[in-house]
């Protein structure tokens, strides 16, 4: 069956079989069969000279490991492995294999003016914080606290628990500060874990300024919202957790892969840790 969602070159073998069946069954000419089916006669004469067997196998393996990666990210990974290949060829093979990632349609709302968040110019200039939630196989809900460096896009910490009060947030941030230094600014929404006394006292003691977005305007915290979307799409929606320790272990593996391997388009297709090293000189 001819699929309109597949590239024309990938459909050529199918079209040849359909035209041959019609000609054999009804005894019509090639011209008549193509005209009736709406195919160009050139599809019956086209013979590809490209051997994509090796590229097909590599793309299948990469897509199996990273099912939510599009062809651009897969192309970056192929180039890192030493594969000299044009992105248009990767796209052609990617579509012919039916690997295209299905995009979720978003509900349209009223158009509003947006004030872009000014990008920081150095590491540890601003950290963004937010929560994302999920559930175990038993139905028990848990939350993940994510903290991201807005300049390098590094995931500083991801911590999963059924409850994460302000005191726990302060403790986790203290551990992160010991490892990589303190930020100048902490940006978050107005959740009780971030506006409570525990985190306020901690930030004051460490000389860190807290900034809060306006209520109802999550895009003022765009960096962490983008990260949460990637985590939801590439990790939470593709994993099934039987217990909280398993979720924490899987989360640590994904976080390491995100920081060390995953290409980031806004960083010139570098991984966050590699970008941070180059930024430091």
pLDDT tens, residue by residue, 211-267 = 999 988 888 999 999 999 999 999 999 999 999 999 999 999 999 999 999 999 889
Q: What is the pLDDT of residue 111?
A: 41
pTM above 0.75, yes or no: no
**Residue boundaries of the structural domains of the chain:** 1-47, 50-102, 126-280
3-state secondary structure of 279: helix
For residues 116-129, average pLDDT? 86
Query: 126-280 maps to which CATH number?
Result: 3.30.420.10
The CA distance from 75 to 86, in Å, is 8
Q: What is the DSSP string of 32-81?
A: HHHHHHT--THHHH-------HHHHHHHHHHHHH-TT--HHHHHHHHHHT
Output b/e per residue, 23-54; b: 16+ Cβ within 10 A: beeeeeeeeebbeeeebeeebbeeeeeeebee
pLDDT tens string 191-221: 999 999 999 999 999 999 999 999 888 889 9
Q: What is the pLDDT of residue 112?
A: 42
Summarize pLDDT for 134-164 with one digit per residue, the tens: 999 999 999 999 999 999 999 999 999 999 9
What element of type H or E holds 135?
strand 126-135
Whether the predicted pLDDT of 113 surpasses 50: no
Report the alpha-carbon distance of residue 33 to residue 22 in Å, rounded. 7
């Amino acid at each position: 069956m001819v699929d309109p969602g597949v590239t024309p070159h990938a459909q050529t073998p199918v079209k040849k079989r359909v035209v041959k069946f019609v000609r054999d069954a009804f005894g019509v000419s090639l011209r008549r069969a193509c005209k009736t089916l709406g195919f160009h006669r050139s599809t019956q004469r086209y013979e590809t000279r490209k051997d994509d067997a090796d590229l097909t196998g590599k793309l299948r393996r990469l897509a199996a490991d990273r099912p939510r990666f599009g062809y651009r990210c897969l192309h970056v990974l192929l180039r890192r492995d030493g594969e000299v290949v044009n992105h248009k060829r990767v796209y052609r093979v990617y579509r012919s294999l039916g690997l295209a990632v299905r995009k979720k349609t978003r509900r349209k709302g009223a158009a509003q003016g947006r004030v872009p968040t000014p990008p920081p110019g150095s590491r540890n200039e601003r950290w963004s914080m937010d929560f994302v939630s999920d559930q175990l196989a038993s139905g028990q809900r848990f939350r993940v606290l994510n903290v991201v460096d807005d300049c390098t896009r590094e995931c500083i910490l991801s911590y999963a628990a059924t409850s994460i009060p302000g005191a726990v947030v302060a403790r986790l941030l203290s551990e992160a500060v010991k490892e990589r230094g303190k930020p100048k600014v902490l940006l978050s929404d107005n959740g009780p874990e971030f506006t409570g006394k525990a985190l306020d006292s901690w930030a004051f003691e460490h000389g860190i300024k807290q900034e809060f977005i306006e209520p109802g305007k999550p895009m003022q915290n765009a960096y962490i919202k983008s990260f949460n979307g990637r985590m939801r799409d590439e990790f939470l929606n593709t994993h099934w957790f039987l217990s909280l320790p398993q979720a924490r272990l899987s989360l640590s593996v994904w976080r390491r892969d995100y920081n060390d391997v995953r290409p980031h388009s806004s960083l010139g297709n570098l991984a966050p840790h590699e970008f941070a090293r180059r930024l430091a000189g």
